[in-house]
Structure formats: structure tokens, C-alpha cells
Structure 1
Amino acid sequence: MSTTTSFLVRKGELATTQLHTATDQPLADGQVRVRIDSFALTSNNITYAAFGDAMSYWQFFPSTEEGWGSIPVWGFASVVQSLHPGVAAGERLYGYWPMSSGAVLSPDRLSPGRFTDAAAHRAELPAVYNQYFRCNADPLYTADTEDVQALLRPLFITSWLIDDFMADNDFFGANTMLLSSASSKTAYGTAFQLHQREGVEVIGLTSAANVAFCESLGCYHRVLSYDALDDIAAATPCVYVDFAGNAGLRNAIHTRFSNLKYSCSIGGTHVEQLAAKGAGKDLAGPRATLFFAPAQIKKRTAEWGADEFGRRMVAAWHHFLASVTDAKNPWLRAEHHHGGEAVQAAYAQVLAGKGDPRIGHVLSLYKQPGGL
């Protein structure tokens, strides 16, 4: 019998992890089994874990271990067994997976380019996370950029939607965008989009150690360390886009900027501060509002139609990818981690917020031929 190995974290105690191996159950009619070949691990996945209960992220791939959860990740898988007439063994898929060596899907609503997992426990969850893209007909797929796709594709789609949301709301009357955690992938993807807007200044806020990296990207008009907020005039009409969830920084920005038009919260990588005093209703100025990408997808799909939505997003992705993979100044380099111990070590590093911002972690838990 085959087995599946999963990386699990204790809910509410994210630094505690375990590797759990279970015997695979026989497939039911209509199901497929996939081998998860590779997946990215970024601060975005830490946000999924931090909001696992509040936003139902634990529900996508429920664990049989009480009190433990599987963090959803984005990456690539190959179909190794199929009892569905419309999906062949050997087919390659991109989508949302557990941190595991394999998974079982129930394909439904098949088209040449994608299908939906119709597993009953996912029926009430946001549809955008339940879609699996068939690589042989995916307009965003190229075989030589799988690592970059796993690392940046879901984050860039969020970035693109944040930019669209801001433009859709006339930037809330502001002309300056303040982006925290400016070295993070979702932040610099957002900056890349915003930088193309006329009359909008994009200021990246980051740690002193990452100022030079952020400046090298060329997508920020200015980059400041967190202790240099005084370099921006207090009366500047601005919008704060918070990618870190750092309560102290959020409080400082809300206190300093008297003309803060909107405060947008994207995620929380500062796990220990998510419930800290000053993170919520006691803030000066506008209330910090969580951005939920599926809501903007739903709005724009209704307004533009699915085909036009896809066309615009694909065009933006290719434009972004050209900059990220520029041979003279690549923004990102993939670092591969294979096997349970390597995955645990990479997770600990990402959870701690440490490491070179130019490094992207690509992980795998399945056993390669030869026993690796």
C-alpha cells in the first residue's frame, strides 16, 4: 500500500510541527490521486496559518490529528492514479495543495484549461482556491518557470487585485501609497503595479537590512526604514497597505498621518502581534480593513466577464515575470528543500521571518526514485 506524508502544525502554536504518515485509502469512482511534486513556502502561507480558524484555511485539507492543521500551499502535482474519465494519469496540475506528498481530488466542472475539486468539505469555501489548472492548456504556464510560478503566481494575483481595488476606489483620494514589509513578494508585486499609475507615489517601508534590496527592484519611488517615518510629511494624503500585521508599526502610521485616507490589511506574518494591543479598534484614523482577494475577483468577473478578467491578469503576469526573471537583475532565486527534515527547517526559517529576500523556498515531501 502507498502512503502519504504530511507536514502538520499545531493550531495556535505555529512553531510546533510534526511529520505524519498515513496509508492511502482506495479511490472512489470519480476521484484522482496526485503526487505533489513541489510547492512554495512564503510568508503568505504563514498568514494562512495565522488566520486558519478565522478565515477557514484549515478546512481545505482537514487533518485527522486533533488540534493539528495542514497549511495550504501553491504548487505543482502529477496525477498518478485516476478513476475519473476526464483526467488522465500523468497529467500535470497547478493549484492549492496541502503540505503533503500527495492528495486526492474529486474533479468536477471540467474544461480544457481547469477543473474544480468537488469534495464535499470544500463546497462552501471560496471557489478561487478550489480550481486546478491543467498545465497543458494554462496560459500562465511555462515548464521552465515552475519555481517562479509556485512562488509568485498566487501572490502576484493578490498584488494585481490590490492595485485594481485601489484604482477602483480612486485611491481613496490619496496620492501616496505606503507599503509595509516592502521586501515581501506580495508587496513588491503590488508596488510593480502601482508604479505604473500616473500621479501615485509608492513608498516602501522595510527593515534597515532590506532597504538596498527594495531599492534595487526599481518599483518603489522611495524606500524608507521603519524608523524613518518622519521623512514623510504628516499631512500627506496617503493609504497604508499593511503586508506584515505589525501592530506597533500600524499604530505609528495611524498616529502620525493625519490625512490617512484608508488602511488596508493584507495579512499577518508577525504572528505574535496579531492580537496585540493597538492592532484594531483603538487605532486613530480609519479602521484597518482586511483585503479579501476573492471578493475583488468576484466583482471584476461580474463586471468584465471571466475571459476579459483572465486576459488582463495574464498580460500583467507576463509583464511582471519579465522584470522578475531579468538576467541582469533577477529579483528572485529558488532554493529547493526535499524531504521532511528539510521542509521543517525551511518552515522554521520562514515563520521566523529570516533570510535573504532574494531567496524563494520551493519544497517537496514525496520520495523520489532511489529513496531520497
Structure 2
Amino acid sequence: MSTTTLLVRRDRLDQTRIVETPDLPLADGQVRVRIDRFALTSNNITYAAFGEAMNYWKFFPTAQEGWGVVPVWGFADVVQSLHPGLAAGERLYGYWPMADHAVLEPSRLSVAGFSDAAAHRRELHGVYNQYLRCSADPFYSADSEDVQALLRPLFTTSWLIDDFLADNAFFGADTMLLSSASSKTGYGTANQLAQRSGLQVVGLTSARHKAFCQRLGCYSKVLAYEELDQLPSDLHAVYVDFAGNAGLRRDIHRRFPKLGYSCSVGGTHVDQLGGGKDLAGPRPVLFFAPAQVKKRQGDWGAAELGRRLAQDWQRLLARVGNPDAPWLAAVHHDGAAAVQAAYAQVLAGQGDPALGHILSLSRS
């Protein structure tokens, strides 16, 4: 028995290879899972782009020097267990390698889920080490697995960005500028912000995605990047950067001298990533979602945070799945060649924002 994995060259994200590695016998306390399906979005490209700085390459290490495994979110089934608390056949949601199998070392089991206590993950952030049992997950429904895989981790980030900004009184601003407005994290954030009174939410996007963003109905205004000068320069604004485009960031910092905060979230424009040196106004700050999770767990407790997330998730799910005007349709890519091609497409940023990519290396 072997495991099929997609490897990505760490310093050249456009270079990939498929590898087969023989499976080692399980040790006591371990489980082997078959990864059934996972989503691939610009969020995963961000994991790769910040792989060194944010330790994303460390979650699923590989013995091949210079190559890494991009983490993804999705569903898997336990196929072999040497752990007394988990049986074969149990379905799990969590953070996986781009592979068809994985081995976990469950600890701190509860009705809801468990943590992976593998030695190499103990120093990594605990949010990414949590695995949920679908049988007890309030977010879960079998008929919405594709949407969950595509939007759930992005929704959580969107929800936390909105919560972080509200927690800081929006840094005195009344206008939120969101780049990469067609991205799932972008419009998820806009959907949350749109429920706040007194805020203008402006989506910035490419000209070809402008109509899509307008159809969503969660932006007060949508502008193509080259239309930035249509906004008055005296806005009290916050910039939430999902694109990582250094040129756009520089233009926004220069145009809006009353910019109250510059929040860097992702990097969909991998070839244009840049730092915050020599910028006018506030220095960009990288948003780290687990830090806001930790704060709110302290403020409210984990149960209350989960309740609020689940409540707003159901509201988003209703909008995304509205049969009269759906926001998203899933496209499946099964098998090694299809997964490799889908990765190249998402990396290039040329996809249709109305489509979501669901991948599987265990199906063909």
C-alpha cells in the first residue's frame, strides 16, 4: 500500500510533481485516513506563498529537499485504527496534505473531535491541528460537503477579520476597502461587514470579475482596480488586502492619507507580493486568524465562539446556495493529472470566481 502526494517546489510554486511513497505500519495510538475530497482555493496558495514565514510547510513534511506539501481543508475517512477511541469508517473534517492518505496521532479525544499530537506538529498552532467528527459537528451536513470544504476555513477567516475590525472600532474608519473582492475570503468578509451599520464596503477587483462581485449584493460599491481614482481621497478608510499586490497597496496608501489601518490577509497575486517598506501611512500588518481565535476564546469561551460561528455560517450557506442566484458551484477534479492541472489553474489566478475546485487523489 502506498500514498500519492502532490509536491510543490517551495521556491517555485509553479513546479509540481506527483510522488508515491510506501505506507509504514501504524504505531499504537495512530490512525490512517483516506482523504476523500479537499478544496483548493487562493487561500491554499497563500499557505504556499507564506510557507516559510508562517510555518505552513512544517505541517506535512517531506523528505525531498526543497519540496513541500500544500495544506488543504476537506474530508477523510478512517480506514485503519490502532487507537481505541476511533473506529474505521468514521468521517472527519480537517486540515490535510494534498494526498490520498494521511496518518494522525489523535489526542484529547472528545465527542466533537481530537487534536493530532504528532511530534512535528506540537510546536505548530493548535487551530490547524484540530479534527472534527462529522457525526457531532454542528456545521456538517452530507449534502453540503463541497461548500463546507470550499468556504468553511475561508468563512472562519472572514468572520474573524470582521470581528477583529469591530473589536478595534474599525480604527476610526467608515469605509472598508477590500482587494481581490471576487475571492471567497473577500466576499465572505464583505458579507459580514455588510451587516454592520454605518459602514461602506468597497470591493476592488479585476475588470473581468466586476460584474460577478456586483451580483453578490454584499458590496456597497465595486470598482475595477484601475477605477480607484473614483473614490474621494479624503476617505477615512481601512484597507483589507487579500491580493498581496504590492503596486496596488502602494497606490492605496498614497491615495488615502487618512488610511487608519492596513490589514494584509493573503497573497493571490503571488508574482507581485511585496513588503511594506517605504509606504505612506500605516505599516501593513499581517492578519493571523488563530490569534483572534485565542482572544475570543478568552473573552467568550470556546463554546460561545463556536455558537456564533455556526449561526453566521448557516446564514452564509443560505445565501451561497440560494437556488435563484447561487454564489458558487463546485467542479470536481479526480486523479493525479486532474489535481495537478487544477493546482496550476488556481495558482495562475485565471479561474471563474463562481466556481469552486474540489480535488481528490483517492478517486479517478
- The alignment's TM-score, normalised by the length of structure 2, stands at 0.99
Partner residue, 1:298:
294
Q: Distance in 2 between matches of 1:249 and 1:265?
A: 12
Aligned positions of 1:62-73 closer than 5 A: 62-73=61-72
Partner residue, 1:166:
165
Partner residue, 1:214:
213
C-alpha distance after superposition, 1:217-236 (max 9, x if no partner): 00001000001111111010
Aligned positions of 1:338-349 closer than 5 A: 338-349=334-345
Q: Does 1:316 align with 2:326?
A: no
Partner residue, 2:247:
248
Partner residue, 2:185:
186
Aligned positions of 1:22-171 closer than 5 A: 22-171=21-170
1:158 CA drift (Å): 0.2
1:66 CA drift (Å): 1.1
**Aligned residue identity for 1:283:** L
Partner residue, 2:360:
364
Q: Distance in 1 between matches of 2:110 and 2:217?
A: 39
Partner residue, 1:228:
227
Partner residue, 2:236:
237
Any idea what SS the aligned residue of 1:260 has?
coil
Q: Distance in 1 between matches of 2:98 and 2:163?
A: 31
Any idea what SS the aligned residue of 1:241 has?
strand
Any idea what SS the aligned residue of 2:157 has?
helix
1:355 CA drift (Å): 1.4
C-alpha distance after superposition, 1:188-238 (max 9, x if no partner): 000000000000000000001111100000000100000111111101000
1:280 CA drift (Å): 1.3
1:162 CA drift (Å): 0.2
**Aligned residue identity for 2:214:** E
1:46 CA drift (Å): 0.4
Q: Where does structure 1 differ by over 2 angstroms across 4 or more consecutive aligned residues?
A: none
1:268 CA drift (Å): 1.0
Q: Distance in 1 between matches of 2:209 and 2:228?
A: 16
How many correspondences in the alignment? 364
1:281 CA drift (Å): 1.7
1:146 CA drift (Å): 0.2
Q: Distance in 1 between matches of 2:200 and 2:55?
A: 35
Q: Distance in 2 between matches of 1:282 and 1:87?
A: 53
1:273 CA drift (Å): 1.7
C-alpha distance after superposition, 1:11-59 (max 9, x if no partner): 1100000000011000000000000000000000000000101100000
Aligned positions of 1:252-291 closer than 5 A: 252-275=251-274, 279-291=275-287
C-alpha distance after superposition, 1:300-330 (max 9, x if no partner): 0001011101100100100111000000000
**Aligned residue identity for 2:326:** P
Any idea what SS the aligned residue of 2:346 has?
helix
Q: Distance in 2 between matches of 1:320 and 1:337?
A: 25
Unaligned runs of 5+ in 2: none
Partner residue, 1:21:
20
Q: Does 1:353 align with 2:352?
A: no
**Aligned residue identity for 1:340:** A
Any idea what SS the aligned residue of 2:131 has?
strand
C-alpha distance after superposition, 1:80-115 (max 9, x if no partner): 000000001000000000000000000000000110
Any idea what SS the aligned residue of 2:19 has?
strand
**Aligned residue identity for 1:235:** D
**Aligned residue identity for 1:300:** R
Q: Distance in 1 between matches of 2:352 and 2:268?
A: 16
C-alpha distance after superposition, 1:111-163 (max 9, x if no partner): 00110000010001010000000000000000000000000000000000000
Q: Distance in 2 between matches of 1:229 and 1:14?
A: 30
Q: Distance in 1 between matches of 2:228 and 2:58?
A: 39
Any idea what SS the aligned residue of 1:240 has?
strand
C-alpha distance after superposition, 1:275-298 (max 9, x if no partner): 4xxx31211000010000000000
